[in-house]
Each structure stands twice: as structure tokens, then as C-alpha cells.
């Protein structure tokens, strides 16, 4: 009876759980019991987030300079005034974000979590254990580091009577399992796609292919438990007890059409408030990028998104290099890839209108690639913005055919199409006509591409350098298996695939048809496919691989000491987190 009473009382906590209040009423009918249950689950998930010692995880397990995370939008993203976004997130005194992650707050966090969980579950005061929390399964991809974190989370929950089993899957299977929502709780991570907080927030809209939590999907589609009020920011939007589509999706759409930067950032903070109120995102730490690279390699660089670039590298032994980033990529189709390792390969294989590069001082910059120049947009009377790009002379596909503006038009419309269902299709929301059959991009002639944005977008050039905006050719991709076989893989970048031994190695060789082929120093790159960190270290030590993108946790200190110039800890804008499937029921049977 106590649990039933607690569940009924949760309705009174709706506004406390949701960052923005309002009272227009949502547009959908809803089962009130489902709303009450979802608010209870949100409170439970947030309480469990307080049980974890993030300082222990980064110091004893991560050991790579990671920073305990108190928000989802990562450290490194800034507000318009230059202050860090995460430091102005949440509404708390004395700490940043949504949790106090200091060592001093650990005991208070733990006690608070226990008190919240007592409202819903039976608790044995003598043993300090909950006795009827449903058994969960934690899903992670094969990696010693991910396993170690999973074992810590498992032990921490077991200390209060909560059983969480561990299940690991190889990378491609894991990605699809999580994407399909076939899990209860899972390891996750997100690295910025470009330098704007929206890239951490727009992934959680209902239709996003990266919405692994399943917000607005399945049973959650009709749950009207959320509220927003942005009338104080000049918008006629005020919704109380609306669905995810009526609230969060509306916030993100409003952000993407907002041209007042100060207001836009306030809207993004409110979007994160709403996201974090669900408890489905449990941030663990802000990423650093830990890897090892041979001291014999010159000309290497990486960007803050985690992509690594080898085309300008030189080594004393010749013009080939062997590296290992991860196991078999799920796809090397630019429109369908959603992983950093896949993006790294694609960035070597394709040439978009823009690309990441280094200037003479070593500073990372976005520069023209297939475009002659990155032009300024023309603001139209209706506040849309039109860009007109001229393609460079001599652009060729790897099979020798000309690259045309029509290839870009086709690729962008394909990637944005509902039919393809690409994870990053929503990145074309900034383009006028998105969501219709009339995405406003067109080839004016063979060398001229015109695109009109719905409004001004400050990070537009960075989008152009993102793999989803790379061209593909219609006749090539009509073969569904085109991106899995070197014989059918046609690209327009610095390299082409000459060998793909699945689950073993992908070999890239210089593309003689690439317009800047003379500037490419590395003739061949072997990308070995493995997620075994011990195997990576063994091959690095014996000189077989010149770069590895993972090291075993228990060897970090020794490797750092033995290879002080080759053990690298670099900045990366990203967050390692745990995500819950929002449709997973974690309430005790007596509360249903």
C-alpha cells in the first residue's frame, strides 16, 4: 500500500521533474496512470545516477585525464560570452550541472538516492538492501575499459541490493541492438559533430536515428508528462503535460529557427533541463582522447571530434602506415555511418565541400575541399539564407568519372530522406524544405550547387565538413551492398579501398584521381580491425601498428611511463554516459 500511495503522489512532482512549466495543455489524450508511472521512473533513474562515484571511475578505471560529468552537453562547448555551457547548466547552487560530482558530495548523494528509492521499493534497514528492485541487464560493447566500468556500476548497485547483469556484444551488433531499443540499460558515448551544443541535443528528438533512449517511441509516444514555457523568450509556446513530440521536439525546432544567439542558448539550456529531468541520461565523464602513436610518425593530426588524419603523415620506413582504431565498422556509407572510427575512414575516402585541416601554426581549421571557396550566404527577404558554391576543376570519382554538383544534390536529398532513415538525416533540418520532398538544394549546372537554409546557421561550414554532407553517386549506391566491397566502393577522396578482409583489415591506397593527389604523402594505410586492447598494445610494442586507439586500463600507468612521448591524452568534446531505455519498466510489481 505504501508503494501504491507513493506512486499516486508522484503526479504532484511533475513540475519539479520537468525544467520548464506552463499551462496550455498538451494536444493529446493520455492515460494518467502512465504519466504517473513515467514520472516515478524518472525520479528513480535520477536517484540511481546519484549512487555512482564518478571520481573513482575517472581516477581508478579511466586514468586518462577524464573529468567527472555533471551534464550531458560536454565540457568544451561554450556560451556566446565564452563561458563553458556545462558551467551554466542546471539550476543549482555551489556546483555545475545537474549533479554535484565532487568527492565531498558522495555521501550526501548516496543518502539522497536511498531516500528516494525507499518511496518505491522495499528496504531492509538492517542490511541496507532493497529487496524488490527488478533485475536489469547492462549492455556494453566488447572492451576492457567498458567492462571495467560496467563491473563497477554492477558492484555499486549490488551494494544496495540491486542486481544488474552484464552483457557484452561486438561493436556492430551492439550499435544495432541499442539503436533498436532492445536493451534495458546500456553504455553510451557521444562526441561532438561540430562546435555547437545543439549537436548534443537534437539527437534526442523523436525521429532522430541516434535516439537510442527511444524518446517518443513505442509506449512513450503517448505519454504526456512534460511541460515547456518559452513565452518569456518571445515565443507563443506554453505546454503543460504534453508528449515528447509536443515539448522536446518543439524546443529543438525552435532552437534551429532562432537567429538571436542569446535567446538560442537559453533555449538550449532549457532543452537540456528537460532532457535531464527524464533520468534516462546518466553522464559519467567528459571524454579525453587517449591513444598511442609511434614517435617515427610525423604529420599526424586529430580534431576535437575524435577523427584522426593520416594522409599527410610520413614515416622513415616508406610511405605506408598501419593503425588500429576499432573493430569492424558498421558501415562506410557516409549517410549511414554514426561512429567516430567509421567517420575517420570516410574522411580519408571522400571529399566534401569543406574539410578539417591545420594551418601553418598547427591550428585546426575548416577549409574548402571540393568547393573553390566557402562563400558567405545571401540573406533573402524571408530570412532564409542562400549559398552558391562553385566546384573545383578536375574533381573525379575513383573510377574516373566527373564529380558534379548533381552528385551533391542527390547525396544530400538521399541522406535527408525518410526512406533512407539515416541516423544523421536530421542534420539537414537547417536546410529549407527539410521534411518534404523539396529539400532546397539544387545543381544549377555541372559545377554550381545552390543551397538555401531555413535561417542563418553559425556552424554551417562545420556541417559541410561532416561525412553526412559528403557526395555519393546515384548509380553506385543503387547497389545496396556497394559500401561493403572494394570492387563496388566508389569514392572521391584522397584514398580508395583496395582490400577489405572483414573483421581483419581494410586497406586504403592513394586515389590517383583525387584532385590533390600530389599533396598526399602516405601511399597506403592499413586499418586493422580489433577491439582487443591487449592485442593493440602487443602490436604497437612490436612495431606492427604505428597508432592504436585504445589501451588496457590496467596498463595505462605503465605505458604512460614507458612511452612518455607516444602515450597521448588529447582533448575531445564528448561525454561518456549510461542510457536507459525509457520504455523499460523498473517499477516494482506492487506499484503497478
DSSP-based three-state secondary structure for 147: helix
The C-alpha angle 22, 277, 455, rounded to 5 degrees, equals 65
Q: How confident is the model at residue 504 (pLDDT cuts 50, 70, 90)?
A: very high
Measured on CA atoms in the order 215, 221, 227, 229, is the torsion positive or negative?
A: positive
> pLDDT tens digits, residue range 40-54?
999 999 999 999 999
Report the C-alpha dihedral over residues 538, 539, 543, 548, rounded to 10 degrees: -110
Contact 201, 272 (CB under 8 A): yes
What is the SS3 assignment for 323?
A: strand
Give the residue ranges of DSSP H helices in 10-99.
14-17, 32-49, 54-56
Beta strands in 92-219 (DSSP E): 123-124, 129-130, 136-141, 164-169, 185-191
Kindly tell me if the per-residue pLDDT of 359 is higher than 60: yes
Pick from 486, 487, 488, 470: nearest CA to 478: 488
- For residue 291 the three cell numbers come to 591513444
pLDDT at residue 259 in the model: 87
Number of neighbouring beta carbons within 10 Å of residue 583:
18
Phi and psi torsions of 445, nearest 5°: -155, -170
Average pLDDT, the chain: 92
Report all structural domains of the chain as residue ranges with CATH numbers, in order of start.
2-285+575-591 (3.10.105.10), 295-531 (3.40.190.10)
Distance of CA 576 to the CA centre of its chain: 10
Give pTM, 2 decimals. 0.84
For the cut 60, the answer to whether the pLDDT of residue 1 exceeds it is no
pLDDT(501) > 50? yes
Exposed / middle / buried, residue 131 (Cβ in 10 Å: 0-12, 13-18, 19+): exposed
Residue 590 has what pLDDT? 58
Q: By percentage, how much of the chain surpasses pLDDT 70? A: 94
Q: Is the pLDDT score of 314 beyond 70?
A: yes
Q: Determine how many CB atoms are found less than 10 A away from the CB of residue 288.
A: 17
Instruction: Give the containing element (helix H, strand E) for 444.
Output: strand 441-445
**Higher pLDDT pick, 477 / 78:** 477
Asked if residue 484 has pLDDT above 60, the reply is: yes
Q: For residue 20, what pLDDT band results from cuts at 50, 70 and 90?
A: very low
Task: Report how far apart, in Å, the C-alpha atoms of 129 and of each of 48, 125, 136 are.
Answer: 14, 7, 16
Mean pLDDT of 404-416: 98
pLDDT at 312 exceeding the cut of 90: yes
The predicted pLDDT at position 13 comes to 38
Task: Give the cell for residue 113.
Answer: 538516492
What is the C-alpha separation between 493 and 397, in angstroms, rounded?
8
The confidence score (pLDDT) of residue 11 equals 34
- In percent, how much of the chain has pLDDT > 90? 87
The C-alpha angle 409, 200, 191, rounded to 5 degrees, equals: 85
Cell of 357: 585541416
Whether residue 138 is predicted with pLDDT greater than 60 in this model: the reply is yes
Amino acid at each position: 500500500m505504501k508503494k501504491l500511495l507513493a506512486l499516486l503522489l508522484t503526479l504532484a512532482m511533475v513540475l519539479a521533474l520537468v525544467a520548464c512549466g506552463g499551462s496550455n495543455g498538451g494536444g493529446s489524450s493520455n492515460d494518467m496512470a502512465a504519466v504517473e508511472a513515467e514520472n516515478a521512473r524518472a525520479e528513480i533513474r535520477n536517484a540511481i545516477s546519484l549512487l555512482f562515484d564518478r571520481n573513482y571511475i575517472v581516477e581508478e578505471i579511466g586514468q586518462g585525464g577524464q573529468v567527472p560529468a555533471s551534464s550531458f552537453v560536454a565540457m568544451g562547448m561554450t556560451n556566446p560570452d565564452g563561458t563553458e555551457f556545462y558551467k551554466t547548466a542546471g539550476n543549482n547552487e555551489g556546483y555545475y550541472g545537474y549533479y554535484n560530482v565532487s568527492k565531498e558530495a558522495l555521501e550526501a548523494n548516496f543518502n539522497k538516492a536511498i531516500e528516494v528509492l525507499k518511496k518505491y521499493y522495499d528496504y531492509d534497514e538492517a542490511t541496507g538492501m532493497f529487496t524488490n528492485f527488478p533485475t536489469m541487464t547492462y549492455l556494453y560493447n566488447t572492451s576492457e575499459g567498458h567492462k571495467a566500468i560496467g563491473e563497477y556500476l554492477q558492484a555499486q548497485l549490488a551494494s544496495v541490493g540491486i542486481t544488474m547483469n552484464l552483457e557484452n556484444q561486438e561493436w556492430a551488433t551492439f550499435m544495432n541492438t541499442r539503436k533498436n531499443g532492445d536493451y534495458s540499460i546500456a553504455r553510451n558515448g557521444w562526441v561532438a559533430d561540430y562546435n555547437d551544443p545543439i549537436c548534443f541535443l537534437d539527437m534526442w528528438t523523436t525521429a532522430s536515428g541516434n535516439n537510442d533512449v527511444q524518446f517518443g517511441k513505442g509506449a512513450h509516444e503517448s505519454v504526456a508528462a512534460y511541460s515547456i514555457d518559452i513565452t518569456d523568450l518571445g515565443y507563443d509556446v506554453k505546454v503543460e503535460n504534453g508528449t515528447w513530440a509536443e515539448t522536446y521536439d518543439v524546443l529543438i525546432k525552435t532552437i534551429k529557427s532562432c537567429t538571436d544567439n542569446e535567446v538560442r542558448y537559453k533555449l538550449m539550456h532549457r532543452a537540456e533541463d528537460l532532457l535531464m529531468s527524464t533520468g534516462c541520461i546518466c553522464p559519467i565523464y567528459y571524454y579525453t582522447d587517449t591513444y598511442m602513436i609511434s614517435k617515427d610518425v610525423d604529420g599526424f593530426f586529430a580534431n576535437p571530434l575524435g577523427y584522426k588524419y593520416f594522409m599527410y603523415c610520413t614515416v622513415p620506413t616508406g610511405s605506408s602506415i598501419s593503425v588500429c582504431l576499432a573493430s569492424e565498422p558498421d558501415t562506410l556509407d557516409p549517410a549511414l555511418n554514426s561512429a567516430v572510427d567509421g567517420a575517420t575512414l570516410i574522411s580519408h575516402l571522400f571529399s566534401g565541400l569543406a574539410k578539417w585541416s591545420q594551418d601553418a601554426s598547427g591550428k585546426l581549421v575548416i577549409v574548402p575541399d571540393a568547393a573553390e571557396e566557402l562563400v558567405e550566404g545571401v540573406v533573402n527577404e524571408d530570412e532564409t539564407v542562400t549559398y552558391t558554391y562553385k566546384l573545383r576543376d578536375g574533381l573525379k570519382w575513383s573510377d574516373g568519372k566527373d564529380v558534379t554538383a548533381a552528385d551533391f544534390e542527390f547525396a544530400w536529398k538521399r541522406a535527408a530522406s525518410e526512406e533512407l532513415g539515416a541516423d544523421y538525416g536530421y542534420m539537414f533540418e537547417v536546410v529549407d524544405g527539410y521534411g518534404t520532398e523539396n529539400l532546397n538544394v539544387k545543381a544549377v549546372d555541372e559545377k554550381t550547387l545552390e543551397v538555401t537554409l531555413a535561417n542563418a546557421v553559425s556552424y554551417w561550414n562545420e556541417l559541410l565538413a561532416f561525412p553526412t554532407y559528403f557526395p555519393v553517386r546515384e548509380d553506385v549506391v543503387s547497389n545496396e551492398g556497394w559500401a561493403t566491397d572494394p570492387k563496388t566502393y566508389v569514392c572521391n577522396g584522397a584514398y580508395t579501398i583496395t582490400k577489405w578482409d572483414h573483421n581483419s583489415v581494410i586497406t586504403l591506397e592513394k586515389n590517383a584521381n583525387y584532385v590533390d593527389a600530389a599533396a598526399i604523402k602516405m601511399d597506403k594505410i592499413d586499418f586493422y580491425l580489433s577491439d582487443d586492447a591487449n592485442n593493440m598494445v602487443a602490436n604497437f610494442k612490436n612495431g606492427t601498428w604505428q597508432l592504436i586507439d585504445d589501451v588496457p586500463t590496467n596498463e595505462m600507468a605503465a605505458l604512460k611511463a614507458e612511452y612518455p612521448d607516444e602515450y597521448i591524452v588529447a582533448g575531445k568534446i564528448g561525454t561518456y554516459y549510461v542510457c536507459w531505455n525509457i520504455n523499460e519498466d523498473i517499477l516494482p510489481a506492487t506499484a503497478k
